[in-house]
Amino acid sequence: DAEITQSPRHKITETGRQVTLACHQTWNHNNMFWYRQDLGHGLRLIHYSYGVQDTNKGEVSDGYSVSRSNTEDLPLTLESAASSQTSVYFCASSASPRGEQYFGPGTRLTVT
């Protein structure tokens, strides 16, 4: 069955370190998204991609970057982790505007 996976599921890191969160989907969807979930804010869009070599900033993109070298993967990098980036991160993918976004299980990141 097609799926979307995230790794690691839990990560503790120190302020200032670079961290990369992995997202891999096997639906062959062109569209992939990264969100962060914080209490009282729901999910907020960090970055998104509509295809290989395409990346776009979302509403909370400062301090984050993504790259898209193939259809299946969209890794999220925190260049210099900050305590404000402690959150749960979700990756999602979709095939079309009318279609469902499929979400991964999430990565809980703690920056100390």
Partner 1 sequence: AQSVTQLDSQVPVFEEAPVELRCNYSSSVSVYLFWYVQYPNQGLQLLLKYLSGSTLVKGINGFEAEFNKSQTSFHLRKPSVHISDTAEYFCAVRILNDYKLSFGAGTTVTVRA
> What gap in Å lies between CA 73 and CA 91, rounded to an integer?
10
Stretch that binds partner 1, among 18-26, 28-36, 63-71, 78-86 (CB under 8 A): 28-36
Interface with partner 1, residue 43, by CB under 8 A: yes
Interface with partner 1, residue 55, by CB under 8 A: no
Query: Applying CB under 8 A, which of residues 68, 85, 90, 111 lies at the interface with partner 1?
Result: 90
**Is the Cβ–Cβ distance between 23 and 8 less than 8 Å?**
no
Interface with partner 1, residue 97, by CB under 8 A: yes
> What gap in Å lies between CA 106 and CA 59, rounded to an integer?
19
| CB 93, min distance to partner 1, A | 10
**Is the Cβ–Cβ distance between 35 and 15 less than 8 Å?**
no
Interface with partner 1, residue 101, by CB under 8 A: yes
> What gap in Å lies between CA 32 and CA 73, rounded to an integer?
8
- Residue closest to 62 by CA, chosen among 51, 86, 78, 42: 78
The site for partner 1 (CB under 8 A) is made up of 31, 33, 35, 40-45, 48, 50, 58, 90, 92, 94, 96-98, 100-101, 103-106
